[in-house]
Structure 1
Amino acid sequence: MDKMNGSSTGLNGASEAVDERAWTVGVINSKSKYLTAETFGFKINANGTSLKKKQLWTLQPTGQRDHVSLRSHLGKYLAVDSFGNVTCEADELEPGAMFEIAVADDGSGRWALKNVERKYFMGAAGDKLVCNAKAPSDAELWYVHLAARPQVNVYSLGRKRFAHLSEDMDEIHVDANVPWGEDTLFTLEFRDNHYALHTCNNLYLHRDGQLQSSCSEDCLFAIEYHNGSLALRDRAGRYLSPIGSKAVLKTRGQAVTKDELFTLENSLPQASFSAALNDRYVSVKQGVDLTANQEEVGEHERFLMEFDLATRRWYIRTMLDRYWTLETTGGIQASSGKKTSNALFDLVWHHDGSVSFRANNGKCLATKKSGHLYANSEENEENAKFFFYLINRPILVLKCEQGFVGYKSSASTKLECNKTHYETVHVERGDKGQVFFKGQNGKYWAPEDGISASADQPYPFYMELREPTRMCIKDQHGNYLCAQKNGSFALGTSDLAVATYWEF
């Protein structure tokens, strides 16, 4: 499972490998302005109004005690000189670039950054950053905004298990061995400089462990960094942890032990596929043979999509950790626990929203009358077409190079894609691969004034999985959703080369 904080993708879409204990963050001062590293002259200030490329910082341990460093988007270290001036020019980690984190005890969740070398706290004074305060005041206290993908799996270091929605869907239990299915997907929502845990059934975690429909103050938690792990603290100073035999997630203790520590991990796409030939779902219910013969989606009809970066092809894994594999007869079985070249498939997306699987022999998987799958067809044949459903994203957050998808304003239904804060989107499943997007206002997305969440009737879209965390979205006419630099987006071209790859 990929760590959320291991290889971070910035708002500009660039990917950079960093220490897996590192976080990509925005740092916000008492005036609600972001710490900013300007592109030219290595100038720094606290004037940023939103979280864009220049406001991204890499927070990571230095390897010495609990000291951390902050690196700008230019790869330069934030450092303090002997006069208390704050600079951001160094390519290498130096003593003046090490800080200790102290969390304010006023319930605000703000952090103070104490320079290890100078023993003073860093603050913002107008356009300048200085490090001259012996004790932190408002000017030296900062909120931290996680810039990583907000939809994640939550792993407990103490229990060594993943969080999931309880069977009664009224609590979060931390006892799943594997993060399988939509009930292990959580959206970490940034609200009022705190975080809320939003479940796949559109509820929020209250600090007492119950789930509720609205996000109140008791659903908001401050984040703390502990050597790459995360702790979440409520306004009373108590930390979330798994409690009791059911491992119910709620707040209790006021100290951080292993039980209060979590890591956030990228949630890989999980899919189901229905054959165009017979409208049946591909399944391994009968054993090792892949057969399109099921009318409903259960655990045997869910598959994990694992991307092979070298070949840009896909491994498709079952719940029993077996991979779809091309056999010498041309048949497809899920009998091997190994990743081999015969377990790699190209996804070939068609104009009508369907997809074909090209196997290692150059042929596409075809559905026989019995439902069995064989790699002996061409991609444009009807029996080689399948419809794709992304089943572990009933709630979706979308991002592009400009930012997150959200409403133009609080009074508008028009959507834009350059927002610092995102809107969660409900995904409803239709027939033959169609999906309908519904806003929090209960209205459906439709092509009106670009894209607006304003329709009473659902408008069909198709999702095309292109990378592990990126998709293209098009309508039934084959036109892709395309983002513009001014933040607007609309159904545009049918040319994939200029279509937007939406991060999800």
Structure 2
Amino acid sequence: MSGVQGYYVGLVNFQNKYLTAESFGFQVNASGAHLKKKQMWLVEQDASDIYLKSHLGRYLTADKNGKLSCEAEEREDDAKFSVTYQADGKLALKSKHDRYLGGESDQIDAFALSIGRSESWTLQLAIHPQVNLMHVVRKRYAHLESNEIQVSEDIPWGGDALITLEFKNGRYSVLTSDSRYLNADGSLEEKLTEKGQYVIEFHEGRVAFRTHEGKFLTCVGNKGKIQSSKKNVAGRDEHFVLVDNHPQCMLTAQNERMVSIRQGNEVTANQRFDTTDKEIFQMEFDPKRPGKVCMLANTREYWVANGDVKASSSKRVDAAFFGIDWHGSHVSFQAASGSYVTIKPNGKLAPSADSIGEKEKFLLQLVNRSLLILRGEHGFVGMRGPTTARLECNRSSYEVFKLHFEDGKYKLEGRNGKFAKIDGELNVNLSGSSDDCTTFYLEFREHTKMCIKADNGMYLKGESNGAFTANGESPDKSTLWEY
């Protein structure tokens, strides 16, 4: 998300249907029941105008007669819209010809002279809702500290930097890593109230959070506490950037000691008891190098395998890329030389093994995700309905799982207090107890995407009809989950 001048959104009308760009004929309607590819629009902004680009890379246009099309390959005058944010959190889109976008089903146009029910749209971010939050002016990241959210980290490090944006009734709430809601006055509360609900506004690739009183969230004081400003208009001090959250992990070697850089830039398995940021490493993937990973230390230096492994490169050079193999709860790393990273008698890590044995396997524990939200190619993983425990993978609303790490495996606890369990037909249900549930392995495969292997040796798989089952035989697009 970072570096992109815009965000993907869905626009929902008064009938709870999404504005949809059809794949053929460049037609536009409001018939989508779920937020999928055809319902996602990239919002681009230029001064006070916005442009909506479809999944086909074409811009939405409205002519002087209100007729809509989604055929334009470039930003043209008829593709310009202005946004009016309303008190109830909804918005209206006005074309260059001073007419409002509205309608229903396949009768969508931009001809109305005023804002009515059918011209009011709810904006839903189409990004994964778990992010890091960077303040534009301070260029620092938000994290949970001393019972408040402070913008004071140069790098979003550890679980306390995870922010979840929860969408309910057209408004967003900001959820901390320990499941508390941020109120406009900067306080944190376990229950969501009006004080913790915000309307998101777009400002040229950045966002602002408008409070229930019409003010905006900002940073206050030396520590950058997030709370409401006194402004009715969002300036740069009220602008934030939503940034993808990379997985961060701890690694334990065969000698039962944690991998660390506490003694300098040498990567050594020598820590047994207390854990600091020096024992946490960020996994970064490059789409141009599938199956490879870079390991970043909190010093902003990457591992490199020139001789012993050291966290000594400020850039992702060739020697910073490692092949990664998954062995249940453990991983192994293969250096660019083809040799595997192993542990030496003094605890130092070095790429000197020709094959993978026990010394080449490291127990991996995810440390910056206490909460987990899953999205596949067909939608979010969520409950099928209020009266069933069945999980489905094509939902527009999501389940928030709490991760429990035990003996190298993970248990997934739902909001109902029940744990994920595989039934006889391999469906995933939230029906188990902590002592009677399915355990899982997490395999990080791509940027923001992972596979989840159940204890039956099969991967969790999603299908277009919503089936969410533990019967995937190998990693592919049906078993990859954005997290």
TM-score over 0.5 (shorter chain): yes
Native 8 Å contact 2:155 2:298 kept in 1 = no
Instruction: Measure how far apart 1:376 and its partner are.
Output: 1.8
Q: Distance in 1 between matches of 2:24 and 2:325?
A: 43
- Matched with 1:34 is 18
Native 8 Å contact 2:29 2:108 kept in 1 = yes
- Matched with 1:111 is 91
Q: Distance in 2 between matches of 1:176 and 1:455?
A: 38
Q: Distance in 1 between matches of 2:337 and 2:58?
A: 48
CA distance 1:98–1:493, change in 2 (3 Å): closer
Deviations 1:424-472 (CA, angstroms, capped at 9, x unpaired) = 11111112x3222111112221212611122112532111111121111
The letter of the residue matching 2:100 is F
Q: Which moved more, 1:146-155 or 1:374-383?
A: 374-383
- Matched with 1:248 is 225
Q: Distance in 2 between matches of 1:366 and 1:203?
A: 41
- Matched with 1:307 is 285
Deviations 1:74-121 (CA, angstroms, capped at 9, x unpaired) = 2222111222222222223221111111212xx2111111112x1222
**Please, which of 345, 370, 378 is the counterpart of residue 369 of structure 1?**
345
The letter of the residue matching 1:451 is V
Native 8 Å contact 1:353 1:476 kept in 2 = no
Instruction: Measure how far apart 1:125 and its partner are.
Output: 4.9
RMSD: 1.9
**Please, which of 148, 152, 158 is the counterpart of residue 137 of structure 2?**
158
Q: Distance in 2 between matches of 1:179 and 1:113?
A: 35
SS in 1 for 2:278: helix
The answer to whether 1:359 aligns with 2:335 is yes
Instruction: Measure how far apart 1:379 and its partner are.
Output: 3.9
**Please, which of 54, 71, 75 is the counterpart of residue 38 of structure 2?**
54
CA distance 1:83–1:439, change in 2 (3 Å): same
The answer to whether 1:422 aligns with 2:398 is yes
Q: Distance in 1 between matches of 2:246 and 2:276?
A: 18
Q: Distance in 2 between matches of 1:152 and 1:292?
A: 30
- Matched with 1:44 is 28
Native 8 Å contact 2:287 2:447 kept in 1 = no
Native 8 Å contact 1:85 1:130 kept in 2 = yes
SS in 1 for 2:155: coil
Instruction: Measure how far apart 1:46 and its partner are.
Output: 1.7
Q: Distance in 2 between matches of 1:27 and 1:120?
A: 17
Q: What is the TM-score when the length of structure 1 is the normalising length?
A: 0.90
Q: Distance in 1 between matches of 2:109 and 2:343?
A: 67
- Matched with 1:208 is 185
The letter of the residue matching 1:306 is E
Which runs of 5 or more residues in structure 2 are unaligned? Answer: none
SS in 2 for 1:209: coil
CA distance 1:94–1:410, change in 2 (3 Å): same
Q: How many residues align?
A: 476
Q: Distance in 2 between matches of 1:477 and 1:28?
A: 40
- Matched with 2:80 is 98
Instruction: Measure how far apart 1:27 and its partner are.
Output: 0.7
Native 8 Å contact 1:379 1:385 kept in 2 = no
Native 8 Å contact 1:76 1:89 kept in 2 = yes
- Matched with 2:110 is 131
The answer to whether 1:438 aligns with 2:413 is yes
Identity over aligned pairs, percent? 37
Native 8 Å contact 1:344 1:359 kept in 2 = yes
- Superposed, 1:286-435 pairs within 5 Å as 286-296=263-273, 297-312=275-290, 313-328=292-307, 331-350=308-327, 352-431=328-407, 433-435=408-410
Native 8 Å contact 1:358 1:379 kept in 2 = no
Q: Distance in 2 between matches of 1:90 and 1:345?
A: 43
Q: What is the TM-score when the length of structure 2 is the normalising length?
A: 0.94
Deviations 1:282-340 (CA, angstroms, capped at 9, x unpaired) = 11112222221222432111011222333332221111122222134xx2222333433
**Please, which of 252, 270, 281 is the counterpart of residue 248 of structure 2?**
270
The answer to whether 1:176 aligns with 2:158 is no
Native 8 Å contact 2:286 2:447 kept in 1 = no
Q: Which moved more, 1:145-154 or 1:437-446?
A: 437-446
SS in 2 for 1:190: strand
